[in-house]
Structure 1
Amino acid sequence: MKVFIVSDSHGLINELLEITKRHAQEATAFIHCGDSELPNGCVELQSFIYVGGNCDFARNFAKERTEDIQGIRFFITHGHLYNVKMTLINLYYRAKEVGANVVCFGHSHIALAEKMDDVLFINPGSLLLPRLRKERTYASVQIDNRQAIVQFYDLNGKKVPHLGKTFTF
């Protein structure tokens, strides 16, 4: 099972379509963690499980979602409601409440893969305005046999190897 995760695309359209086209054959699912700044239900988001962020002003975006993908429970949120720029502990507690194995979030524009106890946190960075690095990034998580491989890619689909990590559940 392989899931591709994007966030903070802030109005980009062609890039979202290119990512889904590039990885269509290998993806089990696509997730967008908010701040797309696109209308809810638009064609560019149709391939994604998505939530709204603090820059998504349409009221009809879900603020968070819990999705089971091939037996793995994903909690998806933008992160602004959980103070993720300061700490992951609020997000951790919410993940425990919903029984999530993997948390996908954005908001900080900082690419991150980290495990806290039995919860894997993934922030794919930003497709438009990255922080703490020059690469505009998105991520994938491949989960097989209780092992999770998180890989980051630049906007052109080239792997950013020093960001990738492997975790066990």
Structure 2
Amino acid sequence: MKALILSDSHGLTELLEVISKRHREDVDLMIHCGDSELEIDAKELQGFHVVRGNCDFRGEFPEEFIHQENDVKIYATHGHLYGIKQTLQKLHYRCRELGATIACFGHSHMLGAEVIDGILFINPGSILLPRMRKEKTYAIIDTYGKSAKVIFYSIDGKELLSSSFDLNQ
């Protein structure tokens, strides 16, 4: 399974469409981890599974999204309800409750990917207001069996970082 993950677009429309068009034929799933600040039926969000962020007041987006394919279960949320700027512990507990192997979230605008206790946590950064780096970013995860590869891209489609992870629990 291959998934495009982005977050914190904060009202951007044209760039969402550009990224979607660039990758939609190559991915099985597109996830927006919140703070789109768009209406739920915005054409720019077409094809994305979108969760509600702390700045999303214009649509009735769900708080979380769950997708399972084979042995991989992806859990997506914005992160503000789990205090991810302080710790990933509450998000980790939620993933354990659900049996999720991958957690996708935004909120902090800081990209990162790491495995903690068998769960891969991915924050794609922000395509508008990045923190701790200058590049505006998004991610693509490619899972195969119990392995995953996460590639972070700048908004112009250039690969910035790539890491492989073992999802064995």
Length-normalised TM-score, structure 2: 0.95
User: What runs of 5+ residues in structure 1 fail to find an aligned partner?
Assistant: none
Q: Distance in 2 between matches of 1:59 and 1:16?
A: 17
Counterpart for residue 16 of structure 1: 16
User: Over residues 90-141 of structure 1, what are the superposed CA-to-partner deviations in whole Å (9 max), with x where a residue is unaligned?
Assistant: 0000000111010000000000101111110000000000000000000011
Aligned in 2, Cα 1:59/1:21: closer, same or farther, shift over 3 Å? closer
Counterpart for residue 154 of structure 1: 154
Q: Distance in 2 between matches of 1:9 and 1:105?
A: 13
Q: Distance in 2 between matches of 1:113 and 1:51?
A: 19
Q: Secondary structure at the match of 2:113?
A: strand
Q: Distance in 2 between matches of 1:24 and 1:65?
A: 19
Q: CA deviation at 1:70?
A: 4.7
1:117 pairs with 2:117: yes
Q: Distance in 1 between matches of 2:15 and 2:50?
A: 16
Query: How many pairs were matched up?
Result: 167
Counterpart for residue 80 of structure 1: 80
Q: Distance in 1 between matches of 2:41 and 2:84?
A: 26
Q: Distance in 2 between matches of 1:137 and 1:78?
A: 16
Q: Does the aligned pair in 1 maintain the 2:40–2:59 contact within 8 Å?
A: no
Q: Distance in 2 between matches of 1:32 and 1:132?
A: 21
Q: CA deviation at 1:59?
A: 5.5
Q: Distance in 1 between matches of 2:70 and 2:45?
A: 21
Q: Distance in 1 between matches of 2:2 and 2:61?
A: 25
User: Over residues 70-93 of structure 1, what are the superposed CA-to-partner deviations in whole Å (9 max), with x where a residue is unaligned?
Assistant: 542111100000000000000000
Counterpart for residue 165 of structure 1: 163
Q: Distance in 2 between matches of 1:14 and 1:155?
A: 12
Counterpart for residue 35 of structure 1: 35
How well do the aligned residues superpose, as a CA RMSD in angstroms? 1.1
Q: Secondary structure at the match of 2:22?
A: helix
Counterpart for residue 126 of structure 1: 126
Q: Distance in 2 between matches of 1:56 and 1:49?
A: 14
State, as a whole percentage, how many aligned pairs show the same letter. 49
1:67 pairs with 2:102: no
**Residue pairs, 1:91-110, within 5 angstroms:** 91-110=91-110
Letter in 2 for 1:156: D
Length-normalised TM-score, structure 1: 0.95
Letter in 2 for 1:106: G
Letter in 1 for 2:28: T
Q: CA deviation at 1:47?
A: 0.9
